[in-house]
Structure 1
Amino acid sequence: MTKTLGLIGTGMIGGTLARLAVAAGLNVVLSNSRGPETLADLVTELGGQARAATPAAAAEAGDLVVATVPLHAYEQLPAAALAGKIVIDTMNYYPERDGRIAELDSDELTSSALVQRHLAGSRLVKAFNNIDFHRLSTSARPAGAADRSALPIAGDDPAAKAEVIALLDALGYDAVDTGSLADSWRVEPGTPVYVQPYFPGQTPEGVGQDEAFRWFFETPGVPVPAAQVKELIDSAVRGVAGGKLLPGA
């Protein structure tokens, strides 16, 4: 059973997962590339269940560890400290931010398979990559709720996936197993299950940036149950790797 969640990266997705974890009664160990002292405000907000550390220390402390850094920084993940750990990969490939990555552009690897190659001693599970941070926060519901949403996961280790499914349940979500890391392209940017289903409509056209951000933060999510997530995953067709970086993604 997960008692402590380690986080490497505390941006929008990482911070949201930390808040959900604390609300679920878990301890969290936060880290980023800038040093534990830069996380003082977030630790204060989260209270006694949270502390800040280096990425290696967060990796060692976590029963499960979330890697939520920009994909171009994946090689900075502490492979030695993460050896033997279940690592949750929330990362997506955005060429405008990450630069072109040949193995991804050629479909030789999915982004998660690329990260798994770096973290050869870890058991990687793809999760939390297809929903923006605001809907991730506001759409969480207790088990059995009629309006509970589901999120896809992918991984090569069934036991690791079972642990992540239990974490999703604790944080407020059902899970849909997409398959292996090689299959995780089905939930990457540009696929039917990526971000948009959790919104009630498209971003308004012809509005300024301020209005667009206001819409983003004021628009509630809509429930996306497991059956709908599975249909969207099954309908995916592999296209050009990578996607456009969206607010909150």
Structure 2
Amino acid sequence: MQIAIIGAGHVGSALASTLGLAGYQVVVTNSRGKESLSDFTRRTGAVARDMRDIAQGADVLIIAIPLCRLPDLPASVIADLPAHAVVVDANNYYPARDGRIAAIDGGQVESDWVALQLGRPVIKAFNNIIADRLAHRGRSTGVADRVALPVSGDDPAARRTIMAIVNAIGFEPFDAGTIDESWRQQPGQPAYCTDPTVGELRDLLHRADRQAAIRNRDQGARLMAKLPPDYPSDQLVRVARFFVGLDRLEPAAWAALFRLGIAVLLHRS
């Protein structure tokens, strides 16, 4: 299976590495051309392509670029995709980065908006986990604390395809329903960046709140802006789990909360 990735940032890099290790053929592109990807390909083992060639022979196309750049994708990318190819939306909407998107602010589900821009249905996946955890947290099937990742989409066969990929790279796939339900795994929701087990994920998705998510998303973005860029991802996950009611009796969770407060104060000064 050939998997094409548009985007060579943190998420694109994590996916390229893990997919390659799982035995998939991975090709990648960005807006700057394949010549800019020499370091990326050396680190990940992926093959660099120009944007005009990225869709050729792809069985899966993963879009991992900021949402604001989606309308700039050449129409040929989607037009050249094989009919059977599955398109994956691994993006998230952050107004501070993407600017205001009126349709999403008005209530349209992010991935519905993405599908409209592309003119093709999408599967929502890989968007609710920190990139560093995506690269390093994969575990064998049957491990008790294996992190579960939700997969949403309207085509059951396409969902199964992506769920098989999720499993192959070391995560527990969870069928999260149609694309209209994908808002439950977006930023600000309990399932976002909390590395849940499959049992925890089921409950966290059920507890999702669309109105509270907007406030939580923006507060989270402001907090992240106050932290150093190399702040440990495991500490962020511990804090995220604490705030959704998980691990509150764990000393490590309280220590992570304290450490976060100190980091914010020091970085601000």
- 1:54 paired with 2:50, answer yes
- Which residue of structure 2 aligns with residue 112 of structure 1? 111
d(CA) in 2 for partners of 1:36 and 1:158?
34
One-letter amino acid matched to 2:54: A
Do residues 160 (structure 1) and 164 (structure 2) align?
A: no
Q: AA paired with 1:168?
A: V
Q: Corresponding residue for 1:235? A: 207
Q: Which residue of 2 aligns with 1:97?
A: 97
The aligned length equals 217
Question: In the alignment, which of 65, 75, 83 is matched to residue 61 of structure 2?
Answer: 65
For normalisation by structure 1, the TM-score amounts to 0.81
Aligned residue type for 1:81? D
> 1:147 and 2:138 equivalent?
no
Cα separation, 2, equivalents of 1:185 and 1:51: 32
> Equivalent residue of 1:179, what SS?
coil
- Which structure's CA Rg is the greater one? 2
Would you say the 8 A contact 1:30–1:58 is kept in 2?
A: yes
Offset of residue 241 of structure 1: 4.3
Q: Percent identity?
A: 37
Matches of 1:44 and 1:192, distance apart in 2: 36
How far the C-alpha of 1:80 sits from its partner, in A, is: 1.5
In structure 2, C-alpha distance between the alignment counterparts of 1:188 and 1:133, rounded to whole Å: 15
Return the structure number with greater relative CO, CA threshold 8 A, min gap 6. Answer: 1
Residue identity in the other structure for 2:204: L
TM-score of the superposed pair, with normalisation by structure 2: 0.76
| Contact preservation (8 Å) 1:168, 1:175 | yes
- Give unpaired runs (5+ residues) of structure 1: 199-223
Give unpaired runs (5+ residues) of structure 2: 237-269
Q: Does 1:26 align with 2:28?
A: no
User: Are the counterparts in 2 of residues 153 and 175 from structure 1 also a CA contact under 8 Å?
Assistant: yes
Shift of the 82–114 alpha-carbon distance from structure 1 to 2, 3 Å rule, reads farther
* 1:225–1:139 Cα change, 3 Å: same
In structure 2, what is the equivalent of residue 185 of structure 1?
Answer: 183
**RMSD after superposition:** 1.9
How far, CA to CA, are the matches of 1:127 and 1:16 in structure 2? 14
| Separation in structure 2 between the aligned mates of residue 61 and residue 19 of structure 1, nearest angstrom | 20
Instruction: Return structure 1 stretches of 4+ with deviation > 4 angstroms.
Output: 246-249
1:175 corresponds in structure 2 to 173
Q: Distance in 1 between matches of 2:129 and 2:33?
A: 27
Deviating more after overlay: 184-193 vs 56-65: 56-65
